[in-house]
Amino acid sequence: MEGSFLRFYIHEQDRVHGRPAWEWLLEQANRIGVRGGSAFRAMAGFGRDHVLREQSFVELAGSVSVEVEFIVTDEEATRLLDLVCREELRLFYARIPAHFGVTGEDPAG
């Protein structure tokens, strides 16, 4: 199948309607029919502000990034991005063309 690798980069402490933004994204994607998604906490990174953030044992929670990613059809990617825009969220994302499938399946259908 052809589609997109859609990844959102958010801060661990970001909230949508009082809930963690990563959790909200996963639930909304599931609700609109996306077949799967994952959230990953970053060990370290920096963003537009060029401040390096690292997770350490003594550091306060919430300062690192979370990547939320989906491998989706182009229609699913558009629906999810439209939903994020309707909620007026400012989230950095990457949308990369992807070819995906399941091994062992007949490619003809």
CA distance 29 to 93: 15
Instruction: Please state the separation of Cα 3 from the chain's center in Å.
Output: 15
CATH number at 43 reads 3.30.70.120
pTM for the whole structure: 0.82
Residue indicated by tokens 């070819």: 99
Structural domain tally of the chain?
1
What values do phi and psi take at 81, rounded to 5? -65, -40
Cβ atoms of 91 and 68 closer than 8 Å: no
pLDDT digits (tens, 9 = 90+) for 8-56: 999 888 999 999 999 999 999 999 999 999 999 887 777 777 777 766 6
Domain that holds residue 60: 2-99
The answer to the question of residue 105 being in a domain is: no
Cβ atoms of 90 and 9 closer than 8 Å: no
The answer to the question of residue 88 being in a domain is: yes
Mean of all residue pLDDT scores within the chain = 88
Q: Does residue 60 carry a pLDDT above 60?
A: no
